[in-house]
Structure 1
Amino acid sequence: MSPGRVHRLFEERTLLPARVDGVLRVPVEFLDGTEPLPALRGTLIVLGDNGLTDDEAVRWMLTHDDAMGTTPVAALRANRKAEVRRAAQALL
């Protein structure tokens, strides 16, 4: 994937980067092969609409949630999109 496409995906909130040692990196959990996880964009938009910064959204997606029994991104991978988005909306 070209750097230009990656930056477009960031702007569209299809992907979000994590800053590691000052370098922007995309968590591998956010990818389905070489493409963004299909259910990720809507969830990232909900998180942004609820006031989370990009860093907070990435952290939330990768942090174990007791109610889900896994991380939100793992729940998305398990086709539990509605559950993840309900939890994201409840973060207000």
Structure 2
Amino acid sequence: MSAIPVAADVLSADLEVLPLPDVAERLGVPITRVHQMLRDGQLLACRRNGILIIPALFLSDEGEVVKGLSGTITVLKDSGYSEDEILTWLFTADDSLPGTPVEALRGDRGREVKRRAQASAF
């Protein structure tokens, strides 16, 4: 079994984050499924105070991974972005969206976010 990829903690200290067991509970899946989602690039995690965490904004209010997140992660990875760079990109404000790309994904503007991710690769 391959190791779980872990990004550097590039997130704001005041951003709500969840430890993996809480993510599994919210998604209604075993923690091993969350590990697999991380290995498959459907989610990104970082380590804070020795604990693997995921931004709460990655999960919808309906207990699912935010629509378009995994596709956006894939586009950025295919473009050569590291996990650290992807997290930074997702949480960096873009006045033309407005807000951050992750907020735009949560606001059902995934097509625009993915278009920007594709354009940022060139």
Provide TM-score, normalisation by structure 1.
0.88
- CA distance 1:70–1:15, change in 2 (3 Å): same
Distance in 1 of aligned mates of 2:75 and 2:40: 13
Residue 74 (structure 1) aligned with residue 110 (structure 2): no
The count of residues paired between Structure 1 and Structure 2 equals: 92
* 5+ long unaligned stretches in structure 1: none
For 1:1-92, list aligned pairs within 5 A: 1=24, 2-33=30-61, 34-92=63-121
Distance in 2 of aligned mates of 1:86 and 1:65: 14
Q: CA deviation at 1:22?
A: 4.0
Rg larger in structure: 2
Distance in 2 of aligned mates of 1:66 and 1:19: 29
Aligned partner letter, 2:105: L
Q: CA deviation at 1:3?
A: 2.2
From the two aligned structures, give the one with the greater helix fraction: 1
Distance in 1 of aligned mates of 2:46 and 2:101: 16
Question: What do residues 13-48 of structure 1 show as CA deviations (whole Å, max 9, x unaligned)?
Answer: 111113323432110000014321121111110010
C-alpha RMSD over aligned residues: 1.4
Q: Percent identity?
A: 41
